[in-house]
């Protein structure tokens, strides 16, 4: 409203009056807005004239401006810019951004809200406000999800990177020419990455640390060595170390326990697998054992005399673990040397300080057998000379000198050599001894005239003497005493005069010294003639009785009629017929 109209009336007769309308009657006008105005002028004569088409103009627009902004590229940066173009008003223009800044345009700006006052050539002003420069919501950075290295010394680590802030897309620089967003196959360590966004803004994510187990999977062992050579008392107490528990174990052969027992000496190894699948092998686990107890060194002394007990055996062990004790069987000794041993088999058990045992066997010998005397012989006394001799058999298993001592039945020494002659019939005993005082052997020989049968009746002289028969009379003997073969002269003789030779009677089983062997009163020869049995007292013919029956026959009742044979002879009845007269009534009745 800075318009003004300076009116100068013309024509008519002054003075003049003015009517602009709206009660405005001044000649000139001020404080007017742009627009079209008219005024009626009245002169002194009342004449009027109108001046119209009085046009007041104004600039086409108010002073203002348009902006082209360049937002801040990087969060916290000062790369913002405002390119201001003034509009409206009448140039030239002046600018006031505040803070003494009067340039039309602005650069090097941080994110924020800006305003500027524009003044045109007419002093008209306009303010352009709300000029806002933005920036990325956050600085370029990144978040990470890490996978730590599973196994000490391994390369299983990984970094999953998610860029944040800035303006995508992004590029990455891990160093060493590595430009991937994510990383795999990493060893334990500290990593950093520089991220560049689409605006060229960069951010560094550092201190990305991948860890690993403090130590590789391994183990420590405490071993118990094998106590006895060849034994299985070894043990391994395993403590896994490093890696991440829990652990599994593989000793091979399907054995998966942590610790081992019942082991033989040798070298062992175990593979340990931790919870991450990391493995470590503990090898060179060595179980030792003592050397075998050696009982090969020893000695023995055999028994000097058969049946003695002066043998001994000793052992000098080596190997094993010294500190030996001893047990002898069957003697029961507990020293390294066993004494007072008889012949036989012995075993010593050697026990070392660990309780390990070894044995050694001994066979204590003695002279092969007790003093032995082979069969001795003799020469019998003859029926003519009545003298003989004795000869000692071979002596075996003797130790030292052999001594002979022959004694007769009266215990009188009759000779001290192996052979003694001119001995009368009798009993002689030989005692043989050697240097072993405990050894002797005896044999008794009988030089027999007594064993001869000088009369050839089949009964030895000594037996006939015992029987009180005559050893010089072949028909004076006891049949039951015959022990040797009779002479042929005796066999052809008939000692009992029953007309049957001694030989035939031997064949028939009758007594060559008794004419009536069965005692039934009938001679053996007659019974052979009668055809009856000379050995059965009840088988005879009564009329053939020619000798007196013996008492045994007399007491017998051959016909079982209740009357013995003797009584029947007295009665005149037939001892072989229970009814002698045949009247139907027995003799006894």
Q: What three-state secondary structure class fits 275?
A: coil
Distance between CA atoms of 352 and 357, rounded to whole angstroms? 7
| Overall pTM > 0.85 | no
Distance between CA atoms of 387 and 560, rounded to whole angstroms? 59
Asked if 403 and 433 count as a contact pair (C-beta separation under 8 A), the reply is yes
Asked if 393 and 349 count as a contact pair (C-beta separation under 8 A), the reply is no
Closest residue by Cα to residue 456 from 480, 482, 490:
490
Distance between CA atoms of 536 and 551, rounded to whole angstroms? 14
Q: pLDDT value at position 388? A: 66
Closest residue by Cα to residue 497 from 527, 519, 524, 518:
524
Q: pLDDT value at position 450? A: 58
Distance between CA atoms of 571 and 186, rounded to whole angstroms? 152
Closest residue by Cα to residue 278 from 450, 428, 151:
151
Distance between CA atoms of 468 and 462, rounded to whole angstroms? 10
Q: pLDDT value at position 396? A: 75
Strands in 218-224's sheet, in edge-to-edge order, are 218-224, 234-241, 260-263
SS3 assignment for 331-366: CCCCCCEEEEECCEEEEEEEECCCCCEEEEEEEECC
Helix H or strand E segment including 184? strand 183-186
In sequence order, what DSSP letters do the residues of 65-92 get, joined into one string? EEEEEE--SSTT---EEEEEEEESS-SS
Closest residue by Cα to residue 234 from 208, 254, 276, 263:
263
- End-to-end Cα separation, the chain, in angstroms: 212
Q: pLDDT value at position 454? A: 78
- For residue 308, count CB atoms less than 10 angstroms from its CB and return exposed for 0-12, middle for 13-18, buried for 19 or more: buried
Q: pLDDT value at position 386? A: 61
Residues of the chain predicted below pLDDT 70: 379-388, 391, 425, 437-440, 445-451
Architecture of the domain defined by 141-210: Sandwich (2.60)
Is the bond preceding residue 308 a cis peptide, omega within 30 degrees? Answer: no
Dihedral sign from CA coordinates of 530, 534, 539, 545: positive
Q: What three-state secondary structure class fits 306?
A: coil
Closest residue by Cα to residue 46 from 15, 20, 80:
15
Contacts of 442 (CB under 8 A, 6+ apart): 373, 429, 430, 431, 432
Distance between CA atoms of 68 and 16, rounded to whole angstroms? 57
What pLDDT, in 10s, does the model give residues 380-417?
666 655 666 776 777 777 777 888 888 888 898 988 88
Maximum distance among all alpha carbons in the chain? 251
Closest residue by Cα to residue 340 from 363, 367, 372, 313:
313
Q: What three-state secondary structure class fits 571?
A: helix
Q: pLDDT value at position 85? A: 97
Closest residue by Cα to residue 524 from 505, 548, 541:
505
Asked if 205 and 165 count as a contact pair (C-beta separation under 8 A), the reply is no
- For residue 311, count CB atoms less than 10 angstroms from its CB and return exposed for 0-12, middle for 13-18, buried for 19 or more: buried
CB atoms under 10 Å from CB of 9, counted, come to 17
Structure tokens at 328: 């002898």
What CATH class has 64-133?
Answer: mainly beta
Q: pLDDT value at position 318? A: 96
Distance between CA atoms of 528 and 507, rounded to whole angstroms? 13
Going by their DSSP bridges, the two strands 112-119 and 106-109 should be labelled as: unpaired
Q: pLDDT value at position 152? A: 94
Architecture of the domain defined by 218-287: Sandwich (2.60)
Distance between CA atoms of 33 and 162, rounded to whole angstroms? 63
Homologous superfamily of 372-445: Immunoglobulins (2.60.40.10)
């Amino acid at each position: 409203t800075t318009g003004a109209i300076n009116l100068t009336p013309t024509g008519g007769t002054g003075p003049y009056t003015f009517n602009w309308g709206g009660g405005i009657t001044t000649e000139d006008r001020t404080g007017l807005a742009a627009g079209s105005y008219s005024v009626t002028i009245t002169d002194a004569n009342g004449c009027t004239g109108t001046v119209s088409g009085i046009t007041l103009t104004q600039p086409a627009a108010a002073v203002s401006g348009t902006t082209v902004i360049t937002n801040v590229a990087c969060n916290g940066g000062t790369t913002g810019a405002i390119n201001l173009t003034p509009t409206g008003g009448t140039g030239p223009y002046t600018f006031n951004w505040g803070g003494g800044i009067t340039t039309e345009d602005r650069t090097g700006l941080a994110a924020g809200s800006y305003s500027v006052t524009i003044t045109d050539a007419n002093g008209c002003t306009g303010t352009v406000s709300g000029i806002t420069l933005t920036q990325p919501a956050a600085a370029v950075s990144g978040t990470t999800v890490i996978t730590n290295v599973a196994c000490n010394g391994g390369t299983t680590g990984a970094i999953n990177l998610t860029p944040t802030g800035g303006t995508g897309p992004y590029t990455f620089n891990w160093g060493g020419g590595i430009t991937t967003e994510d990383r795999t196959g990493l060893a334990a360590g500290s990593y950093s990455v520089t991220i560049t966004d689409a605006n060229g803004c960069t951010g560094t994510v550092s201190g990305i640390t991948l860890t690993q187990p403090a130590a590789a999977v391994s183990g420590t062992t405490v071993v118990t060595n094998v106590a006895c050579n060849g034994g299985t008392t070894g043990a391994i107490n395993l403590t896994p170390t490093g890696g991440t528990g829990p652990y599994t174990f593989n000793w091979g052969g399907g054995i998966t326990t942590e610790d081992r027992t019942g082991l033989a000496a040798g070298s062992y190894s175990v593979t340990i697998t931790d919870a991450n699948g990391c493995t470590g092998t503990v090898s060179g686990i060595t179980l030792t054992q003592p050397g075998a107890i050696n009982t090969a060194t020893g000695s023995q002394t055999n028994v000097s005399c058969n049946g003695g007990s002066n043998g001994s055996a000793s052992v000098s062990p080596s190997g094993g673990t010294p500190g030996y004790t001893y047990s002898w069987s069957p003697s029961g000794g507990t020293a390294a040397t066993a004494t007072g041993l008889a012949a036989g088999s012995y075993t010593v058990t050697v026990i070392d300080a660990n309780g390990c045992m070894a044995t050694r066997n001994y066979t204590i010998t003695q002279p092969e057998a007790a003093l032995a005397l082979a069969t001795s012989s003799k020469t019998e006394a003859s029926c003519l000379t009545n003298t003989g001799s004795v000869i000692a058999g071979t002596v075996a298993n003797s130790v030292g000198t052999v001594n002979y001592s022959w004694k007769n039945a009266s215990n009188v020494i009759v000779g001290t050599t192996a052979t003694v002659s001119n001995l009368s019939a009798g009993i002689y005993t030989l005692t043989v001894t050697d240097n072993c005082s405990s050894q002797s052997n005896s044999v008794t020989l009988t030089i027999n005239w007594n064993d001869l049968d000088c009369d050839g009746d089949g009964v030895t002289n000594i037996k006939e003497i015992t029987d009180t028969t005559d050893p010089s009379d072949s028909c004076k003997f006891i049949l039951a005493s015959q022990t040797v073969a009779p002479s042929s002269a005796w066999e052809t003789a008939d000692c009992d005069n029953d007309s049957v030779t001694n030989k035939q009677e031997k064949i028939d089983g009758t007594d060559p010294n008794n004419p009536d062997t069965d005692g039934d009163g009938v001679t053996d020869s007659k019974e052979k003639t009668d055809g009856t049995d000379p050995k059965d007292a009840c088988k005879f013919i009564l009329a053939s009785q020619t000798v007196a029956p013996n008492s045994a026959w007399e007491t017998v009742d051959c016909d079982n009629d209740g009357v013995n044979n003797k009584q029947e002879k007295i009665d005149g009845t037939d001892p072989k017929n229970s009814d002698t007269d045949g009247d139907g009534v027995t003799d006894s009745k």
